Amino acid sequence: ILWRMMRKQEFIHDLFLQWAEKYGPIVRVNAFHRVSVMILSPEGVKEFLMSPQYPKDRLVYGPMFNIFGERFLGNGLVTVCNHEHWHKQRKIMDPAFSRTYLMGLMETFNEKAEELMEKLEEKADGKKEFSMLTMMNRVTMDIIAKVAFGLELNALSDDQTPFPRAVTVVLEGMTKQRIPLMQYMPGKQKLVKEVKESVRLLRRVGKECIDQRREAIQNGKEATLDILTQILKGDDDESILDNFITFFVAGHETTANQLSFTVMALGQHPEILERVQAEVDEVLGAKRDIDYEDLGKLTYLSQVLKESLRLYPPVPGTVRRMEKEHVISGVRIPANTTLVFSTYIMGRMERYFKDPLTFNPDRFSKDAPKPNYCYFPFSLGPRSCIGQVFAQMEAKVVMAKLLQRFEFQLVPGQSFKLLDAVTFRPLDGVMCKLKPRSPARGCQA
């Protein structure tokens, strides 16, 4: 079944969800000549993810090291499996994600989100149809390039820039690489060639960027505290490049997917859209630049973004290796088993969320019970996402400006299905039509 679904690009995770509802919180899956166990109980999630003693599984993260023989994510922060190696990297990176540093990013978040608003204004005649996912990918790419590496990529203003396409192609390559012998199949050579070229392009740009920064530092220029400065403290050039690629790809693509899914959900729920727009109007009025303090006041918008991550998590889960035999929820699990954890599946299970398929941001209001260990869009424990606060600040700024300035409508006839392309993204790209909001409501910049 799994092979057939993968070949047809069907969404396999809904089948796993059915199994979870039918067979309970511990589900054994025999696939691709190996046994994996899905752990879908809060106790299991807590036990395995909160502890540093269960490493990420090489069988799963290893294939991201190379794609079709080209080094891609290598031993970067996401894919490195050895705990000591990971810990050393994480300690080096932490200062670039401190609260003080993140507060200083508001200027760039505002500037790039404003550029997105200008681009959207050109389309806002109520008739032009465009993909919100494409636009979100470009703005988040411009943001990560600027704040992480000091690069002006101008993906928003330059339609010819090769980077958005390169990232899409590489992720497609990662998905296709799951199919054994894929690179030798007839008819796939063109894709394999394009994937390899895209990986080389991204690593080449990374190398140029790293060399320029090194030269500037050697010439006595003061190093800006950003992600690149921290990456440069790595052990060797290849590892430094691994982290450049890791932050460049992971640092924009997931947030673009989250923002697009949020637009998709709001477009389907006008009453929620109206409520979140009213909050934005109250907090921001006609103000152009959003302050760090404003973000804390946009509480309903936070709930909307969290609920979007529950139903549509861009990263569906994580995988661990259990080296010793273990009993969990009364089930004996043999040594050397791959453990799969899925926030996508748990977020849609009736036992953890009432009416799980209903988009309801009130689940995350401050009085609602907290969903402990069954909601983890940024993973949990020591290997949770280093960029979690960064991503949510960025998402809030972009989303708040979009809600402040525009009325949007989803183009009828599109599917609202998910596509598994390493990360989850909206299959049809969230096709929209926009109109400026009327100044009478105090929302014109």
User: Half-sphere exposure of residue 99, counting CA atoms within 13 Å on the CB side?
Assistant: 2
Instruction: Give the model's pLDDT for residue 2.
Output: 64
Q: 385 among the known binding-site residues?
A: yes
Summarised one tens digit per residue, pLDDT across range 259-313 is 999 999 999 999 999 999 999 999 999 999 999 999 999 999 999 999 999 999 9
Report the alpha-carbon distance of residue 398 to residue 255 in Å, rounded.
10
Looking at residue 442, what is its pLDDT? 45
Confidence of residue 187 (pLDDT cuts 50, 70, 90): confident
Q: Give the pLDDT confidence score for residue 1 in this predicted structure.
A: 59
Contact 256, 376 (CB under 8 A): no
- Tabulate helix, strand, coil % of the chain (nearest 5): 55, 15, 35
Is the per-residue pLDDT at 12 higher than 60? Answer: yes
Going by pLDDT thresholds of 50, 70 and 90, the confidence category of residue 223 is confident
Written as six digits, the tokens of 247 are 């932050």
Write down the pLDDT at residue 444.
43
Q: How confident is the model at residue 30 (pLDDT cuts 50, 70, 90)?
A: confident
Q: 2-441 falls under which CATH superfamily?
A: Cytochrome P450 (1.10.630.10)
Which stretches within 124-181 are classed as H helix? 132-149, 163-176
Give me the pLDDT at residue 35, please: 83
What is the tens place of the pLDDT at every residue in 365-422?
A: 999 999 999 999 999 999 999 999 999 999 999 999 999 999 999 999 999 999 998 8
Average pLDDT over the chain reads 94
pLDDT at 28: 92
Give the residue, 317 or 30, on which the prediction is more confident. Answer: 317
Which pLDDT score, from 0 to 100, does residue 180 have?
72
Query: What phi, psi does 178 have (nearest 5°)?
Result: -65, -25
DSSP string for residues in 130-145:
EEHHHHHHHHHHHHHH
Taking the alpha carbons of 310, 312, 174, 393 in that order, is the dihedral positive or negative? negative
Tally of residues, the chain: 445
pTM over 0.75: yes
71 φ, ψ to 5°?
-65, 130
Specify the pLDDT at position 45. 98
- DSSP annotation of 56: B
Q: Which single residue is written with the structure tokens 């997917």?
A: 257
Give the pLDDT mean for 315-322: 97
pLDDT of 32: 63
3-state secondary structure of 66: strand
Query: CB neighbours (10 Å) of residue 362?
Result: 12
Contact assessment for residue 437 and residue 402, using Cβ atoms and an 8 Å cutoff: no
Contact 368, 362 (CB under 8 A): yes
More confident: 8 or 314: 314
Give me the percent of the chain exceeding a pLDDT of 90. Answer: 86
pLDDT in tens, 141-184: 999 999 999 999 999 999 999 999 999 999 999 988 877 777 77
